[in-house]
């Protein structure tokens, strides 16, 4: 994850060198593909290293989702290269996302009591991987916020807003998992929910 975080920091730096011209969207998309590939690799590595099967499953899901982001971006980039005005012809109906981050999740006192009653202690390596993944997603959001400032067109901003929303969902899921693992000592599982 350290390499991915370093890569993203470098990509954010490269954004500041992009001038708002007819090729700006294409260059931003190229950097976004690199970002998503870096995140995919980091999540796949975290999945291999995860001690708990639930953690492994979550990181595998996130790696697959990052792969889907790469595919989406490559498709969009190919369309832009075929018709540079294509992205500006796209209808803009969705609101532009803001660059505000999600707030960390806290466990209820019931969840803390459940964990205390079971005498469970979180695996430090899995907790560390979740913390690194959270920082990675925060850096990804920073990248997309900076990218939205570089491109002028509303359709390009719409695509970046969509990617920000996906990253925020990942960040939220990671924060929930971190809170459960840190405070309750085990990975959150939707099957634990009762009526």
Catalogue all structural domains in the chain, each as residue range(s) with its CATH number: 2-182 (1.20.1260.10)
Q: Can you give 83-126 as a three-state secondary structure string?
A: CCCHHHHCCCCCCCCCCCCCCCCCCCHHHHHHHHHHCCCCCHHH
List pLDDT tens digits, range 37-78: 999 999 999 999 988 888 899 999 999 999 999 998 898 889
- Residue 87 or 147, more confident: 147
pTM of the model: 0.76
Are 161 and 96 in contact, with CB atoms under 8 Å apart? yes
| pLDDT above 90 for 118 | no
Reported confidence tier of residue 33, pLDDT bands at 50, 70, 90: very high
In the predicted model, is pLDDT for residue 98 greater than 70? no
Which token pair is 126? 């899995």
d(CA 111, CA 3): 34
Mean local confidence (pLDDT), 124-147:
88
Angle between helices 24-49 and 154-179 (to 10 degrees): 20
| pLDDT cut 90: percent of the chain above it | 21
| Pair of tokens at residue 4 | 């991915």
């Amino acid at each position: 994850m350290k390499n991915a975080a370093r890569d993203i920091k470098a990509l954010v730096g490269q954004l500041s060198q992009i001038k708002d011209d007819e090729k700006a969207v294409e260059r931003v998309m190229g950097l976004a593909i690199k970002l998503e590939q870096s995140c995919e690799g980091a999540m796949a590595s975290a999945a291999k290293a995860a001690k708990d099967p639930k953690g492994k499953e979550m990181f595998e899901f996130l790696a697959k989702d990052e792969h889907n982001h790469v595919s989406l971006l490559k498709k969009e980039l190919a369309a832009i290269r075929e018709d540079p005005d294509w992205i500006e012809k796209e209808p803009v109906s969705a609101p532009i996302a803001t660059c505000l981050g999600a707030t960390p999740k806290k466990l209820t006192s019931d969840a803390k009591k459940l964990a205390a009653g079971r005498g469970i202690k979180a695996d430090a390596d899995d907790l560390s991987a979740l913390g690194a993944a959270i920082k990675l997603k925060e850096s990804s959001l920073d990248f997309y916020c900076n990218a939205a400032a570089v491109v002028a067109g509303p359709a390009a901003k719409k695509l970046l807003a969509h990617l920000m929303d996906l990253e925020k969902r990942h960040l939220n899921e990671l924060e929930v998992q971190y809170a459960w693992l840190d405070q309750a000592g085990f990975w959150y599982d939707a099957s634990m929910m009762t009526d």
